[in-house]
Each structure stands twice: as structure tokens, then as C-alpha cells.
Amino acid sequence: MNISKSFLSKVRFKTFMQAAKSLKTKKQAPAEMFIEGISKRFKGPKSKFSLSGHDSHGVYVDFIKGLTQNEIHLEQIRSPKIGAGYGTEAMKFIVSVADKTGTTITLVAAPLDDEGENEDIWSQEKLADWYGSFGFDGEYGEEEMVRHPKKIKSTKE
């Protein structure tokens, strides 16, 4: 079998370039990958570790960097129409991205309008129950909650 020198040179060069590219490419932290993932749905200002934006239903989210590279903090989520399912749909998307990227989400389950100006605002207990339905855990009566990423089952056999 006779392989030309120019062919081998091309293969070696291509292999070298791929190796050089992989050295330049810094692995993204889970929180960075999370922000990239949710930015596909929520449009607005973002950086490596933060995003504030709306989706097509008008659901607003505000995320900031957590305490570690694997953690993101949900500052708030607001739905323009409470009870329509938009917030639930958005939260399902958020936790699926967190699972795919291995990101822990923290939050404070506190009503944004605690002065009673809006009768549609949920109580702290109802909010905690809602977040709990997505896998967030917290001490009973405490507002701080955390959700660790769930392992995604591989479809490969």
C-alpha cells in the first residue's frame, strides 16, 4: 500500500490544527452553559453568568451567578398571566437546561409584591410548593430553596 507523502502531511496538519484548537477552547463552566441554554428561549441582556429576559409568552426571568461555577441563582420569575401555565412551562424548560448542563439552581421563594397590592400574587407557602413541584428543596418555613441537577438517562444502549 503506497500512501503519498502529501496525503500524510495533510492528515498530520489537520490533526495538529484540531489539537491546537482544543487547547485554545476553554471548557465552559456549567453555569455558563446554563446561561447559553436558556438564552435560546429568554431574550434580553446577558453575560457569561447572568441573564435577564422575556420569553414569547412574556414570562420574565432574572438569573445571576451563584456561589460556585456549577450554580446559578434565580432572582425572579414573573408571568404576565398567573394561572395560564406560562410560568410552569418556563420553569420546566429552565430545569431541563439545568439538568443537561449539570447546574444547581438556588432561589428565594418570596412573593415579589408583599404589600398586598396585587391579589394574584402567591403566598410564600404556595410559591415554595410550586418550586417544590420542580424538585427544589428547602427547610419548611424557610424561603431559601435549592435544586440540584437530576441525572439524565442515556438513550444509548
Q: What is the CATH number of the domain that holds 106?
A: 3.40.630.30
Beta strands (DSSP E) in the chain are 46-47, 50-54, 60-65, 71-78, 104-108, 144-147
- Count of domains for the chain: 1
3-class secondary structure, 40: coil
Q: Is residue 8 part of a domain?
A: no
Q: Is residue 2 part of a domain?
A: no
Q: Using one digit for the tens of pLDDT, what is the confidence trace for 103-137?
A: 999 999 988 764 545 555 788 888 899 999 999 99
The C-alpha cell that represents 106 in the structure block = 438556588
Q: Is residue 152 part of a domain?
A: no
Contact (CB, 8 A) for 105 and 72? yes
Q: Is residue 19 part of a domain?
A: no
Q: Is residue 74 part of a domain?
A: yes
The reported pLDDT for the residue numbered 144 is 92
Confidence of residue 2 (pLDDT cuts 50, 70, 90): low
Torsion of CA 76, 131, 125, 58, to 10 degrees: 40
Contact (CB, 8 A) for 105 and 68? no
pLDDT over 70 at 154, yes or no: no
Supply the range of the domain harboring residue 64: 30-147
Place of cell 455558563: 32
Contact (CB, 8 A) for 86 and 57? yes
Q: Using one digit for the tens of pLDDT, what is the confidence trace for 13-70?
A: 565 555 555 444 567 899 999 999 999 999 999 988 899 999 999 999 999 999 899 9
